[in-house]
Amino acid sequence: MFQRKRKGSDFGAEIEAHIELETIRLRELGLSDEDARTAARQAFGNVTRAQERFYESGRWMWCDHLWQDIRYALRMLRQSPGFTAIAVLTLALGIGATTAIFSVVDATLLHPLPYPQPEQLVSVEDDLPGVGAQDVGMSVPEWQDLQRSGIFDYVSVIGGGDVNLTGWSQPTRIRFLNVAPNYFAMLGVKPQLGRGFNPQDHTPGFTLELLISDGLWKGTFAGDPQILGKSLRLDNDLYHVIGVMPAGYHDPGRTAEERNIELWLASGFAAAPAPPPLRNSRLPQPAIARIKSGLTIAAAQSRLDALVAALQKQFPADYPLQSAWTIRLTPLKENVVGHVRQSLILLLGAVGLVLLIGCVNVANLLLARASARGRELAIRQALGGARTRLIRQLLTESVLLSLLGGMAGLAILFCAKGFLLQIVPDSLPRLNEVSINWPVLLFALVASVAAGAIFGLAPALHAGRLDLIAMLKREGRGSTGSEEQAGTRRVLVVTEFALSLVLMIAAGLLLRSFADLLNVRLGFNPQRVMAVRTWLPVPNDPKTDIYGTAAQEAPLLRELLRRGRTLPGVEEIAIGNLPALPLGHGRNDLIRFPVILEGHETPSDRPPLLDGSIVTPGYFHLLGMTLLRGRLLSESDNEKAPQVAVINEAFARTYWPNENPVGKRLRLPTPGDRSSLSWTTVVGVLADARTESLAESIVPQMYLSLYQRRAKDLAIFVRGRLDTAAIPVELREQVQSVNPELPVFGAQTLNEVLSASLAQRRFSMEMVGLFALTALLLAGLGIYGVISYMVSERRHEIGIRLALGAQSRNILRMVLRQGLALAIAGAAVGLVSALILSHLMAGMLYGVRPADPVTFAGVAALLIGVAVLACYIPARRAIRVDPLVALRHE
Amino acid sequence: MSTQQGRERLELLQGTLDLLILRTLIFGPQHGQGVARAIEQTSDEELLVEHGALYPALQRLEERGWISAKWGISTNNRKARFYSLTSAGRKQLVKETSRWNRLTAAIGRILEAEEG
């Protein structure tokens, strides 16, 4: 039975009533008024004792005690505002930062993807481990095999791209997703308005239906309620709107660009512009599937393996045994967030260490205070305060302190939320789902209470072991704190140093990796280069395409080059497709060519696909790429001349090891007719350049002429003394004066592109670096506190030493030695821990080993340097002790 | 002291106060002073109830749910807190009474055996 506590005053009233009744009774027996009252009181006995007994019997006593403890603790905290402010601020930063990182981890790693039964969603990737090729794409017949296999509810292919939306103000380029018609049925999402694609639709090419995002609907179309059935002109084709996706819907994708789609088109990927649906013609687009409910991923994978084995037997020519074709299922969530897991866990670990170091610091402060409060505690105990009660009160104080810190931290977090989200690179998956929600608040609460318990425990236990007599005696003599407490404080400082060292080594390794990446030999020169992008429309009917062939496109290109060259500051200009933009394209933007080499018609022992860029001849010189053999592309390599290609060293190494590749021929799909192949001759070899990734190894690349092979996703490159604000506008004017229907977007300098490709690494490095600096600062403060305290404790002794003729140099050395011993002990423990832990972050390093001796030695030296500096200040104070004053003080 | 009427009264045995309170309340709601008076009178003034101990005991019984309390007006028109037996209290009374009877019977047997 839950009963409200009865108040003491009610109990008192009852006693009064009793005495009143008893007095009346006695008066009736004949006693005088006064006698009756006295007798009644005497019969009752001790009123106070009764009230105490009532109070102690209450099951709410502990609640009262807690309230008392809290009030007392608040009073104590108010009494020393300096201490309180420092402790609360330290904890606020620690808890706030930890909570901030946790909110990101919560949204990305802990939350399931926002679709029904997300655990059934998998990403489907074709691998050819035999030739070292991963995720080579699926062919249309394979896709159909999978759909018929009975393993999946739906298998959907998803391609991305840009499209020109014309007829509405400026021609705008819109990021769209072309998906199989079963895409939304597979994800299990429904539009807010209208309908989705019919999952039963089988169409070879594009259906002329589209869905639009809530943002596009409310923005460009002003929330037009009659939007359904309206026609939109995309790349010159008319589509009609069949639905509007709900606000807050995002596609599963790794990057912001992949998630924030505005248009969805349905396609069967079996007709133009997709390649013909042949078994050996792999789609560059990734596939996602929903496995049948009740089937685990492992079970689906084993059934899939059997299917793959059967297909391999059935089509031996398409699946050579050496390539060891497999289809791999991974949870879709892993595909979306897997690549950031390590960084995020590292960040959470780093910020957790900072919080821990903060806790140690506050514990240190509390211990120092506890020794100052030793007298108070001793007296309270001498007066009968129970030890458990004292421990509880001290713990209440520390938990209260850390709850205050937690609240302050959350307040800071709420205020700085917008700013913090801005510094997170927007390539972080699921960033738009980061919020301060209940789990995050709960985390902050748990972190606060845990922090309070951790740093409150040491002082509280000391209070529990107080030696009353010794304490009261010593208190009489001015010295403070016990030897045991000093020992604990030294252990805390050593811990702090060890933790900081681990963090700083992590930061140091990331910093070195980053520096190595910045200094990596690029193989091209990004300085003074700017790129703007445009998109030539791809109508569904090739006959209406005015830029359908390289010959049709060439006049536009030549005109753009001619006009661009006249712009102020422009020294060189070239045009390429999006894959030619170094470090600035995604996986979906690549064009992959099947490789069929002359003399090796079935290249079963080499990766069968190759990334290619399509560029104008000026591209190589503009980017400063080095020709090793043969010649570059030239203006005369046009649509009438034989097809030629320039390749990189990696290509030559992989496909023609130990041979001169110049003059070799390979078969590529014929321009303008993808179903046939024609010969292309290699005319030159370029030095390898890191155009795909700074960190990963260089992949085979091929460069074809834009005059021989058309491309629609164009980047215009200019080099020179450029006005980066004016050039995009001027280029837009030039492009649109040639063709006003063309959008111009995505102006960036190559240095910006380069920097953006490192955004996530930079973020990890900066955050871990920031945490490490904080840790260093806290550790410095910690050792400063301990040594200062030691100096003030030993003033008397130092005074005597000085009086007896000790050199100040000796005193200085004595104090520094004490500090140094702590720092070295901490560094030693830290080095061993860091050796163990740094291997866990091997995947995030570049060009530096996890046990890099330079980093380890450098960081240890830095830490010890900071310790010496922190000890030097109190050491100076020690040698300035005036012997007379110190002795008189006693 | 005038209430003691010259005779030395018996102090209550530990733990018996609860039983007596419950027993007293079986006749209907009563306030604390009434309970004390009832015990003293029914025992022919043999038992002494320390009034100060009565109220914590009442509080304890109330918290266990054996009695319930309500402020009311006494017969001589004074405010008083009236206690009444709950059904749980009634059961407890039966249990305690039988235990008490067994205890006194057992002790009685021992004492008689020694005499005999």
A837-886: pLDDT as tens digits:
888 888 888 888 888 999 999 999 999 999 888 888 888 888 887 777 76
Q: Are residues A707 and A853 in the same domain?
A: no
- How much is the pLDDT for A477? 45
| Region of residue A21 (left: phi > 0; alpha: psi -120 to 50; beta: else) | alpha
Q: Does A698 touch chain B (CB under 8 A)?
A: no
Q: Are residues A184 and A295 in the same domain?
A: yes
Instruction: Tell me which of B54, B55, B68 to substitute to probe the interface with A (most A C-beta atoms closer than 10 Å).
Output: B55
Q: How far is B68 from chain A (nearest CA, A)?
A: 11
Q: Among all residues of chain B, which has the CA nearest to that of A43?
A: B51
Beta-bridged to residue A206, according to DSSP, are: A267
CA dihedral A688, A691, A696, A699 (to 10 degrees): -50
- Which residues on A lie below 8 Å from B33 (Cβ)? 17-18, 21-22, 25
- How much is the pLDDT for A847? 85
B43-102: pLDDT as tens digits:
888 887 888 788 888 888 888 889 998 898 888 888 889 999 999 999 999 998 999 999
- How much is the pLDDT for A472? 63
Residue A743 CA to residue A161 CA, distance in Å, equals: 14
Asked if B33's CB is within 8 angstroms of A25's CB, the reply is yes
Q: What percent of chain A has pLDDT over 90?
A: 30
Task: Tell me which residue of A340, A266, A257 sits closest to A586, measured CA to CA.
Answer: A257
- H helices within A373-435, ranges in order? 374-382, 387-423
| CB-based contact A182:A154 (threshold 8 Å) | yes
ipTM of the complex: 0.83
- Which residues on B lie below 8 Å from A22 (Cβ)? 33, 51
- How much is the pLDDT for A602? 56
Q: Among all residues of chain A, which has the CA nearest to that of B60?
A: A57
pLDDT-derived band of residue A302, with 50, 70 and 90 as boundaries?
very high
Residue B76 CA to residue B78 CA, distance in Å, equals: 6
Asked if B51's CB is within 8 angstroms of A25's CB, the reply is no
- Which residues on B lie below 8 Å from A54 (Cβ)? 55-56, 59
Which are the contacts of A323, defined by CB distance < 8 A and separation ≥ 6? A128, A130, A131, A133, A604, A605, A608
Alpha-carbon dihedral sign for residues A56, A62, A68, A72: positive
Answer yes or no: is pLDDT of A276 > 80: no
Asked if A45's CB is within 8 angstroms of B78's CB, the reply is no
Question: Among the listed ranges A128-132, A578-582, A692-696, which one has the minimum average pLDDT value?
Answer: A128-132
Per-residue pLDDT, averaged over A716-732, amounts to 92
Domain membership of residue A426 (yes or no) is: yes
Domain membership of residue A698 (yes or no) is: yes
Answer yes or no: is pLDDT of B1 > 50: no
Q: Are residues A282 and A380 in the same domain?
A: no
Residue ending a domain, choose from A699, A721, A753? A753
- Which residues on A lie below 8 Å from B51 (Cβ)? 18, 22, 43-45
Residue A672 CA to residue A709 CA, distance in Å, equals: 8
Residue ending a domain, choose from A723, A753, A783? A753
Asked if A24's CB is within 8 angstroms of B52's CB, the reply is no
Average pLDDT, chain B: 83
Q: Does A27 touch chain B (CB under 8 A)?
A: no
A-contacting residues of B 10-69, CB under 8 Å? 31-34, 37, 50-53, 55-56, 59-60, 62-63, 65
Q: Are residues A249 and A297 in the same domain?
A: yes
Q: Are residues A298 and A378 in the same domain?
A: no
- Domains held by chain A: number: 4
Answer yes or no: is pLDDT of A70 > 90: no
Q: Does A5 touch chain B (CB under 8 A)?
A: no
Domain membership of residue A117 (yes or no) is: no
According to DSSP, the β-strands at A529-535 and A326-331 are: unpaired
- Which residues on B lie below 8 Å from A11 (Cβ)? 55, 59
- How much is the pLDDT for A478? 43
Whole-model pTM: value is 0.74
pLDDT-derived band of residue A468, with 50, 70 and 90 as boundaries?
low
Average pLDDT, chain A: 85
Instruction: Identify which of A21, A26, A54 has the shortest CB distance to residue B80.
Output: A21
Most confident among A307-321, A679-693, B39-53 (mean pLDDT): A679-693
Domain membership of residue A70 (yes or no) is: no
Domain membership of residue A65 (yes or no) is: no
Instruction: Tell me which of A23, A44, A49, A59 to substitute to probe the interface with B (most B C-beta atoms closer than 10 Å).
Output: A44
Q: Among all residues of chain A, which has the CA nearest to that of B48?
A: A43
Q: Does A49 touch chain B (CB under 8 A)?
A: yes
Q: Are residues A701 and A801 in the same domain?
A: no
Amino acid (1-letter code) at residue A821? A
Instruction: Identify which of A26, A31, A50 has the shortest CB distance to residue B55.
Output: A50
- How much is the pLDDT for A531? 95
Residue A600 CA to residue A605 CA, distance in Å, equals: 10
Asked if B59's CB is within 8 angstroms of A59's CB, the reply is no
- Which residues on B lie below 8 Å from A17 (Cβ)? 31-33, 78-81
Q: What domains are there in chain B, each with its CATH number?
A: 2-115 (1.10.10.10)
Size of interface A-B (CB pairs under 8 A): 73
- Which residues on B lie below 8 Å from A1 (Cβ)? 65
Q: Does A32 touch chain B (CB under 8 A)?
A: no
- H helices within A704-807, ranges in order? 726-738, 750-757, 759-793, 795-803
- Which residues on B lie below 8 Å from A53 (Cβ)? 53, 56
Instruction: Tell me which of B1, B3, B75 to substitute to probe the interface with A (most A C-beta atoms closer than 10 Å).
Output: B3
Burial class (CB in 10 A: 0-12, 13-18, 19+), A328: middle
3 state SS for A669-700: EECCEEEEEEEEEEEEEECCCCCCCCCCCCCC
Asked if B2's CB is within 8 angstroms of A6's CB, the reply is no
Helix, strand and coil content of chain A, in percent to the nearest 5, comes to 55, 15, 30
Q: Among all residues of chain B, which has the CA nearest to that of A52?
A: B56
- How much is the pLDDT for B67? 92
Answer yes or no: is pLDDT of A4 > 50: no
Q: How far is A43 from chain B (nearest CA, A)?
A: 6
Question: Count of CB atoms within 10 A of residue A158's CB?
Answer: 24
Answer yes or no: is pLDDT of A569 > 50: yes
Answer yes or no: is pLDDT of A481 > 60: no
Residue A492 CA to residue A360 CA, distance in Å, equals: 6
Residue A782 CA to residue A826 CA, distance in Å, equals: 12
Q: How far is B99 from chain A (nearest CA, A)?
A: 25
Per-residue pLDDT, averaged over A118-124, amounts to 93
- Which residues on A lie below 8 Å from B3 (Cβ)? 26, 29, 39, 43
Q: Are residues A159 and A229 in the same domain?
A: yes
Q: Are residues A207 and A261 in the same domain?
A: yes
Q: Are residues A54 and A141 in the same domain?
A: no
- How much is the pLDDT for A133? 77
Q: Domain residues for A715?
A: 529-753
Q: Are residues A880 and A778 in the same domain?
A: yes
A589-636: pLDDT as tens digits:
777 777 778 876 655 566 777 788 999 999 999 999 999 999 999 999
Asked if B65's CB is within 8 angstroms of A21's CB, the reply is no
Q: Could you tell me how many residues make up chain B?
A: 116
Instruction: Identify which of B37, B50, B56 has the shortest CB distance to residue A57.
Output: B56
Domain membership of residue A169 (yes or no) is: yes
Higher pLDDT, A645 or A7: A645
Q: Among all residues of chain B, which has the CA nearest to that of A18?
A: B33
Instruction: Identify which of B52, B53, B65 has the shortest CB distance to residue A1.
Output: B65
Instruction: Identify which of B53, B55, B60 has the shortest CB distance to residue A15.
Output: B55
- How much is the pLDDT for A786? 81
Q: Are residues A582 and A706 in the same domain?
A: yes
Please give the C-alpha separations between residue A857 and each of A421, A509, A831, A849, B38, in angstroms, as whole numbers: 35, 12, 9, 14, 89
Q: Does A59 touch chain B (CB under 8 A)?
A: yes
Q: Does A4 touch chain B (CB under 8 A)?
A: no
Three-state DSSP at A156 gives strand
Task: Tell me which residue of A387, A400, A381 sits closest to A67, measured CA to CA.
Answer: A400
Asked if B55's CB is within 8 angstroms of A45's CB, the reply is no
Per-residue pLDDT, averaged over A783-799, amounts to 81
**Residue matched to tokens 């130990």:** A658
Domain membership of residue A84 (yes or no) is: no
| CB-based contact A542:A272 (threshold 8 Å) | yes
Q: Are residues A617 and A725 in the same domain?
A: yes
Most confident among A559-563, A697-701, A797-801 (mean pLDDT): A559-563
Residue ending a domain, choose from A753, A785, A805? A753
Q: What percent of chain A has pLDDT over 70?
A: 92
pLDDT-derived band of residue A662, with 50, 70 and 90 as boundaries?
very high
Q: How far is A63 from chain B (nearest CA, A)?
A: 17
Asked if B80's CB is within 8 angstroms of A17's CB, the reply is yes
Instruction: Identify which of B60, B62, B81 has the shortest CB distance to residue A17.
Output: B81
| CB-based contact A742:A600 (threshold 8 Å) | no
Which are the contacts of B79, defined by CB distance < 8 A and separation ≥ 6? A13, A17, B71, B72, B73
Domain membership of residue A307 (yes or no) is: yes
